[in-house]
Amino acid sequence: NNVITANYSGGSISVFPIAKDGSLLPASDIIKFEGSGTDKERQEKSHLHCVRITPDGKYMFADNLGTDQIHKFIINPDANAENKESFLKEGSPSAFKVKAGSGPRHLTFSPNGNYAYLINELIHISPDGKFLYASNRLKADGIAIFSIQPDNGILTKVGYQLTGIHPRNFIITPNGKYMLVACRDSNVIQIYERDADTGLLTDIHGDIKVDKPVCV
């Protein structure tokens, strides 16, 4: 019923009700955040980098790179374009602090909903919940691979897959068999086969050539 966006430059999040025909209506709510962080160049003000709804649909978290906070909201599942109810209400606590200067970027949840993982780049978890993947760019561009201990969610690094230049974004196919990596500065989307037992990746050389891909 609603689309939520994180506005990096504006330091806010916006809620857009969805009309019956699927189009977006004007924003029903814009929530602005104040504050700054320890890095005067990167954290001069609030920078909202990511919004994620919890697997149970009850809460939404917003990563504020500028203030080293993860903001918590309670979701109103009944809010829609017709009743005009507020979709988000401030949670308690309203935010969680992370290490000063870390600049939280992306958040993902384990399929069972028991664990949340935060990183300064992009992460995805395999559909079976056994492996977590994180992209690194600007130095040794590639995908870091971690196994997830099922009893406590702790990560163990099991491998590293070098990719093209600047892997800006990646996605795992719903069946868990493949990973598509958008390498912006190589002008290609690379396709890797994923080993379900080890989590490791193999380039199948099925590159999709496209100008500066940034999101899949």
Confidence of residue 80 (pLDDT cuts 50, 70, 90): confident
> What does the pLDDT look like over 165-188, one tens digit per residue?
999 999 999 999 999 999 999 999
CA torsion, ordered 195, 200, 205, 207, to nearest 10 deg: 100
> What does the pLDDT look like over 89-109, one tens digit per residue?
999 999 999 999 999 999 999
**Tokens representing 9?**
């430059």
Composition of the chain by helix, strand, coil, percent to 5: 0, 50, 50
> What does the pLDDT look like over 4-55, one tens digit per residue?
999 999 999 999 999 999 999 999 999 999 999 999 988 999 999 999 999 9
